[in-house]
């Protein structure tokens, strides 16, 4: 569906913030870490290691090392174990007891947490995407701060990926989505793709084969 979205490049964003002196907007980083890992097997993929570090911890660091204002992790499946590996990080936790109903329930919890903190926008990152560069998150923040984007997904070589940013005007709609599509329909309706040179935005870990390949 990437071809249905208007595409912009980083130069557009760099130009929009050139000479800007105002402060960054308040952007909440939402780590979506509630899924049941059904395609991975018996283990929780978020707890699987790459270079001796759990996937979800690497994903959390992507947000923590960026310029987001705060980070919220939405937990569900094996929430205690996931929270334990993130315990020493400056991350707030939100419980999603309805995680088995699909990704949209975690997006809803993340959007509500962002709205409750009066955030200007939220950036959603999947917990099974351990290779996203923090600079990509900052690029999304800059695009929003410069007024270039209000709903945007990072892309690589034309392929839509994650993370995705939504401005506060979309929070109510994000709370109303159903199933396992997250904010895809909102993005397709009013969003854009931001081309990046970050291959990590299209690298998620769904199966054991995926894990072995990236190892």
Q: What is the pLDDT of residues 153-162, one digit of tens each?
A: 999 998 999 9
The pLDDT tens digits of the residues spanning 190-203 come to 789 999 999 999 99
d(CA 198, CA 195): 9
d(CA 28, CA 208): 31
d(CA 174, CA 184): 10
> Which residues have a Cβ under 8 Å from the Cβ of 92 and sit 6 or more positions away?
70, 71, 72, 73, 113
pLDDT recorded at residue 83: 97
For residue 76, give Cα distances in angstroms to 25, 48, 91, 135, 193: 29, 16, 15, 28, 29
How does DSSP assign 95-147, residue by residue? Answer: E-TTGGG-HHHHHHHHHHHHHHTT-SEEEEEETT-TT--HHHHHHHHHHHHTT
pLDDT recorded at residue 23: 67
d(CA 163, CA 193): 11
The pLDDT tens digits of the residues spanning 122-150 come to 999 999 999 999 999 999 999 999 999 99
Phi, psi of 157 (to 5 degrees): 50, 40
Q: Chain-wide mean pLDDT for the chain?
A: 89
- Cβ pair 214, 131 in contact under 8 A: yes
Question: In the structure encoding, which two tokens stand for residue 60, read together?
Answer: 């959390």
Tell which residue, 208, 200, 117, has the closest CA to residue 162: 200
Tell which residue, 110, 201, 133, 119, has the closest CA to residue 168: 119
Task: Spell out the domains of the chain, with CATH numbers in brackets.
Answer: 2-214 (3.90.550.10)
Q: Between 121 and 179, where is the model more confident? A: 121
């Amino acid at each position: 569906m990437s071809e249905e979205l208007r595409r912009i490049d980083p130069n557009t964003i760099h130009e929009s913030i050139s000479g800007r002196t105002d402060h960054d907007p308040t952007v909440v980083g939402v780590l979506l870490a509630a899924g049941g890992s059904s395609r991975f097997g018996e283990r929780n993929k978020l707890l699987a290691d790459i270079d001796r570090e759990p996937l979800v911890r690497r994903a959390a660091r992507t947000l923590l090392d960026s310029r987001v204002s705060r980070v919220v992790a939405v937990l569900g499946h094996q929430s205690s174990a996931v929270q334990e590996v993130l315990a020493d990080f400056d991350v707030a936790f939100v419980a999603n007891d309805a995680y088995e109903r699909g990704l949209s329930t975690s997006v809803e919890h993340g959007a509500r947490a962002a709205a409750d903190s009066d955030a200007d926008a939220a950036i959603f990152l999947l917990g099974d995407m351990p290779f996203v560069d923090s600079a990509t998150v900052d690029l999304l923040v800059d695009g929003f701060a410069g007024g270039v984007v209000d709903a945007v997904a990072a892309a690589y070589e034309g392929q839509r990926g994650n993370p995705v940013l939504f401005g506060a005007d979309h929070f109510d709609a994000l709370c109303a989505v159903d199933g396992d599509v997250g904010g895809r329909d909102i993005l397709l309706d009013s969003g854009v793709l931001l081309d990046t040179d970050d291959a990590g935005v299209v690298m998620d870990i769904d199966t054991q084969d995926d894990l072995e390949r990236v190892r």
